[in-house]
Amino acid sequence: MRFCPDCGHALEPILFEGRWQGRCPSCRRIHFPNPKLVAGVIVSKDDQVALGKRGMPPGIGLWSFPAGYVNQGEVVEEAARREVKEEIGIDVRLTGLVGVYSEPQQPIVLVVYAGVVLEGTLTPGSDMQEADWFSLEQLPPLAFERDLRIFKKWRHRSAAPAPQGAPYQT
């Protein structure tokens, strides 16, 4: 952020609590850069996962599970389902949380759910070049280093016995 969203003045750097932040010289407000929230879904069917070949940066031409930014005021689970529909053309039911991921110096926090197909045909959306099903043993080149770790956690989670009680639903 270069300008104060409150009064429009250019921000100046200030060391605050051990980190460089932007401070407005006019209204004196310190502005903290917040991470963007991203929701994604590992969609599975018959021991395969649905992936899209990215047509937009980052990772153009590489593959990833459907994911995208959560809009302000949007419920995270709704955003996850919306992203699946927009990116690979299918409606899903979320079956559980795989995990929440963040990395040092990265501007996003990624929330990943597991999901199964409710209806629709796997079709690439406007920001995907292709969409297809893959086994975890024969994954294509992945767009993000973290994806392989997330798939391994998902596989371990899905191999565990289901907990007693009501299934996860949103």
Residues marked active site are found at 130
Contacts 24+ apart (CB under 8 A), 26-34: 29/4, 31/1, 31/4, 31/5, 33/1, 33/107
Q: How many CA atoms lie within 13 A of 122 on its CB side?
A: 19
Give 124's DSSP letter. Answer: -
Query: Containing H/E element for 129?
Result: strand 128-134
Residue 63 near residue 55, CB atoms below 8 Å: no
Residue whose entry in the numeric block shows the structure tokens 């371990």 = 156
The distance of Cα 70 from the centroid of its chain, to the nearest Å, equals 8
